[in-house]
Structures are given as structure tokens and as C-alpha cells.
Amino acid sequence: AKDVKIQLEFNPAAVSAYRLIGYENRQLAAEDFRNDRKDAGEIGAGHTVTALYELIPAGADYVSHAIPELKYQQASSLTPQAQSGELLTVRLRYKQPDDSGVDEFAVAVEDADHSFSRSSRDFQFAAAVASFGMLLRNSPHRGNATWDAVREWAQPAVGRDASGYREEFLELIVRAQQTAERHLSRVR
């Protein structure tokens, strides 16, 4: 497919804040989603795209430093659909490779209410890789991620690794941790 655009709308009754992990330079403005003159990405046949979001559940004890508390207004009212139990809606627009017409569809996603330990091994591995990247960049969003935690998340998710990439990732974690510890010992 060509000119593929993906838009997520989180239900504010379920999610009070969210953050796309990575792809910061590829975010599309909301008004450009249906602008067919705005170029978008290509996804080849048989390929997949993965995006990870950090979510703060509605009602969680969380203070956003980016958005100050409003003095003169209250949060907008929610639509009846906000009480549907849906977590988010995913919208996808694309063109077939040999066609200029645009196809669009939307899918509502309900909250599976799974803990990290009950999530799929592939998700756990992807989360470990994302956390690894945040540790490498010393991201302020790394939360409580540590080199040991990243290894603990990735290790059981290796599974059948025909290409050896997941095992190689485990080795990269060890090397990165050793490098970081050497750097810290020199700084002290």
C-alpha cells in the first residue's frame, strides 16, 4: 500500500495521557490525516509496522508538567461513546499501489486489561527494545527502566529465534550496560 496514514484516537474516559515512543519525526498533524496531497509512508506486501505508546490510565495519580491546570475552564464533556468500554479507535487510510483512490477504515479497540506479564512474548520483547533505546539516549521518559530490567523482559521472550537477532539483542544489552557502567565510573 502507498500513502499509508494511521491515526489513533484515545478514549479520554480510559486514557488521561499518552506518548508515542519513537517516531517523533514522523508524526502527522491531525488535519493532514485526510489531506491526500500530504505524502505518507509505504508498506510493502507482507510487511508490518509497530508503534508503541505509553499510556496513563484515566484516574491514575499522574501530574502532567506539560499542561498546567486550567484556572478558567474545566475539561470538556465526553460523548456517550466515551462510556463504551473502548480504549481507542484506529483509523487507517491508504492507496493501493496501482490505484489513486483512497481507502479508509476504522477499528475500535477494547482494553484487554492485561498486565505486562500476561502480554504476548512479542510485545514484551518490543517493550524491552524500546526501553533499551530510551536507556541508550538517557531519555527523561525511561521511567524505572534499568539494564537489568530490560534483560529480564527480553530473556523469556526470545523464543524460537531462527535468525538469531533476539539472542544478539541480549548480548547488546550486556555490552551497553558494561559501557554505561565504565562511563559512570570515569565520571565519578
Question: For the whole model, what pTM was predicted?
Answer: 0.78
Cα–Cα dist 127/123, whole Å: 6
Mean pLDDT of all residues belonging to the chain: 87
Residues 13-22 have pLDDT tens digits of 899 889 999 8
* C-alpha cell belonging to residue 64: 502532567
Q: How many CA atoms lie within 13 A of 102 on its CB side?
A: 16
**Cα angle 50, 51, 56; round to 5:** 145
The pLDDT of residue 26 is: 74
Contacts of 188 (CB under 8 A, 6+ apart): none
Contact present, 104 and 33 (Cβ < 8 Å): no
pLDDT in tens, 122-143: 999 999 999 999 999 999 889 8
